[in-house]
Structure 1
Amino acid sequence: MSSKDVAGFRDYSTKLIKWYHRHHRDLPWRRTNDPYKIWLSEIILQQTRVVQGMPYYLRFVEQYPTLQDLAAADEKEVLRLWQGLGYYSRARNMHQTARLIVEEQGGQFPTSYSELLKLKGIGAYTAAAIASFAYNEAVAAVDGNVYRVLARIFGVETDITSSAAKKEFTALAQQLLPPDDAATFNQAMIEFGAIQCQPVAPDCLLCPFNDVCYAFQHGAQARLPVKGKKNKVRDRYLNYFVVEKDGQLAMRERTTKDVWQGMYDFYLVESPQEPADLDDLVSDHVLAHWLEMGEVVRTAGPYVHLLSHQRIYARFWHIRMSPERSILLPDEMSFYDADEIEQLPKPVLINSYLTENFFNFM
């Protein structure tokens, strides 16, 4: 999009900011220029809607009011507070970055876009958001909402999943950005996409740009922005064995680089397809030992859990051991009582099972 193409939209920024002052939501991270709290909100809101992310933001600010508080926290505490938001690498990267800033930069957040980009877990959008919202640096923050608004209003046909899109959309947003009010403009662009120019059923009749919007004039709202095909979703079959002894359950921390790293679950046997019955899984020697020493008292599932690129089918077998019998546990597993389990960081899938079964029966 050239400067000539933007020439007819010289009042775009003025109209957008006017709309923002009338219609924006009163969100707590918009009432501060503290880079820590702005960063916290941006990390939480990645892949998360505001209505879902708000309680997490408020809990994090209460638990860790400063960057130093977050840096001093144990990772398990951070993951426990994050539980339910998904994409747990966000929480781990956030925690590691907080420690890095405290240890290597004296607890002082970088004050420029270029320096923010050097931090782990901070990409171009997040760096631009922090730089503009906290320091009013004149750099455009371009997220999915901004892609959608620009594609529709200006008729940009570039596939937003392509490598060329980021450069093209950022350049266009940068041309429109008023250098003296970058913070408000970026907030307005994001908010406009979130509540006015929504993915489905945008409010075109009351849009301040409907007289110039390409998508509205050409009936292309459903087609724009252009987005390539999503990655294929992979099915996984997880078979969990919940070993109970003396009112405690055996659990382990997931340490491999897979989903839910750093979270706690039960002994797992993954199968290529849904097993017909328990006999399909007893070739596992640990499981065979447990079945010999204990009794399956309850089964549950399948639970279906959707991730971005995976569809998980999970079954649970509750094996109760006699108090007087000794059993072997893998080195990475330990027994935990109900209070201890409550404090462990757990995937939503595991927490749902525990809530519906364990806590109601123990």
Structure 2
Amino acid sequence: MSMSDEARKNLFSAELLKWYKRERRDLPWRRSRDPYHIWVSEIMLQQTRVDTVIPYFNRFVDRFPNPKHLADAPEEDVLKHWEGLGYYSRARNLQTAVREVVERYGGQVPDNKKDISSLKGVGPYTAGAILSIAYNQPEPAVDGNVMRVLSRYYCLDDDIAKPSTRIGMESLAQGLIPSGEAADFNQALMELGAMVCTPKSPSCPECPVRSGCVALAEGRERELPIKTKAKKARPVFRVAALVEGTGPRAGKVLVRQRPDTGLLARMWELPHVEVRDEIEWDSLSVGKRLLQEASAVDGVGIQATERIVGEAQHIFTHLVWNIRVLPAVAVDEEFVADRTGYRWVGPDEFENYSWPNVFRKLLTEYYISHININ
């Protein structure tokens, strides 16, 4: 006898909650219902694994324990505590939104959908997560994990990459929330997707709601959800200069600060240029010439060699930077040292700056090698 829709719904909600209260992971943001802490955790968890986020979350809330502390902090300090998590616009948007919370709401994170959804960087999922987990309001919090679970449980063929599917899933998820249990239920749904109903190899024998799962009954649990593939990230080819200091600047490297807006805004990096394609990237003479021309335009004279001393890759959502590093010297070290946006940085000062991971890696390797040599 087939299960009715109501019976399937009731089984899902009841069994999922029982499982969660028994099996839930002890995560630092689950130890309180502080809406600010929940907000920070949800922003960090976007596109980042839980195990990676835990130490960052602990360090961040220790340094910025409430909205006022974060609102008052220099952006450089915030980025430094975010360094390594990537997607730095998340940190900037979070601080911008928290400043609005302090100014407009006296530091209290809004407890209604209209106000919280108006904050920068707070989309439907984050709003739903804060309202449900912190304030126990029956709002859905639908992310990729949740859509995967619901697609399988109800055997839905809708493409989860489409906005219309997400809207439908939000309505479905909201109807499943038991009265007075929004906080635990939404976390349980996320937990099931993260721990059991995983993307490639779901652990169906361990699933608390397997008896009601239509996809499992029909043998389709590995086919679902349906998701069109995202556009492949575009490769970009760059050549960077490792400009070593001499004399009193021995052991230091010339770095520059990125522009105030755009990708990796205001972070620090090795001076570098983009070449047209992989063919130019393979031609070290082209890379050397473009580096020297660009440095001349900047007013910072750099003389590079045609020798590779490092290679690295930086992966963004839509781009992949492929970077080769050439040794170089500055034509006028005194002039360079005083230029806005450029600095001579040694290992002792390195941690005072915020670096994209790719340049942190390259410079760390350089400093280790340099210290070992000397």
TM-score (norm 1): 0.91
Which of 240, 260, 263 pairs up with 1:259? 263
Structure 2 portions without partners, runs of 5+:
none
Distance 1:116 1:80 in 2: 26
Contact 2:336/2:343 (8 A) holds in 1: no
Pick closer, same or farther for the CA change 1:143–1:60 going to 2, 3 Å.
same
In structure 2, the CA distance between the partners of 1:212 and 1:324, relative to structure 1 (3 Å rule), is closer
Cα distance in 2 for partners of 1:6, 1:260 equals 49
Offset at residue 264 of structure 1 (A): 0.8
Q: Deviations over 1:183-235 (max 9, x none)?
A: 11101100111101111211111222222212211221222111012112100
Amino acid at match of 2:328: I
Matched residues in 2 for 1:291 and 1:117: separation? 45
Provide the residue aligned with 2:282 in structure 1. Answer: 276
- The question of whether the paired residues in 1 share the 8 Å contact of 2:238 and 2:323 is answered with yes
* Residues 117 and 242 of structure 1, relative CA distance in 2, 3 Å threshold: same
- Aligned residue for 2:351, secondary structure, equals helix
Given that 1:297 and 1:320 are in contact with CA atoms closer than 8 Å, whether structure 2 keeps it comes out as no
Q: Which residue of 2 aligns with 1:338?
A: 347
Higher RCO (CA < 8 A, seq sep 6+): 1
Aligned residues: 359
- Alpha carbons 1:157, 1:224 under 8 Å: kept: yes
Measured in 2, the distance between the counterparts of 1:293 and 1:94 equals 38
Amino acid at match of 2:40: L
Report the Cα offset of residue 63 of structure 1: 1.1
Distance in 1 (CA, whole Å) between partners of 2:197 and 2:272 is 44
Matches within 5 A, 1:87-106: 87-106=87-106
Give CA deviations for 1:290-344 in whole Å, capped at 9, x if unaligned: 9987574973233123222222210112323488875698653233333333211
2 CA distance for matches of 1:324 and 1:128? 54
CA contact (8 A) 1:160 1:225 kept: yes
Report SS of the residue matched to 1:320: strand
Report SS of the residue matched to 2:211. coil
Call closer, same or farther: CA 1:228–1:52 in 2, change over 3 Å: same
TM-score (ref. length: structure 2):
0.89
- Change in 2 beyond 3 A, CA 1:55/1:292: closer
- 1:269-348 equivalences in 2 (<5 Å): 269-274=273-278, 275-281=281-287, 282-283=289-290, 284-287=292-295, 296=305, 299-321=308-330, 331-348=340-357
Structure 1 residue 242: Cα displacement: 2.4
Q: What residue is the counterpart of 2:24 in the other structure?
A: 24
1:150 matches 2:150: yes
RMSD in angstroms over aligned alpha carbons? 2.5
How many Å separate the matches in 1 of 2:239 and 2:40?
A: 35
CA deviations on 1:134-175 (whole Å, 9 max, x unpaired) are 111111111111101000000111101112111110111011
Aligned partners of 1:101 and 1:108 also within 8 Å? yes
Work out the CA distance in 2 between the residues paired with 1:48 and 1:20: 22
Residues 92-150 of structure 1: CA deviation (Å, up to 9, x unaligned)? 11111122211232212111222211111111111111111111111111111110100
Describe the SS at the equivalent of 2:47.
Answer: coil
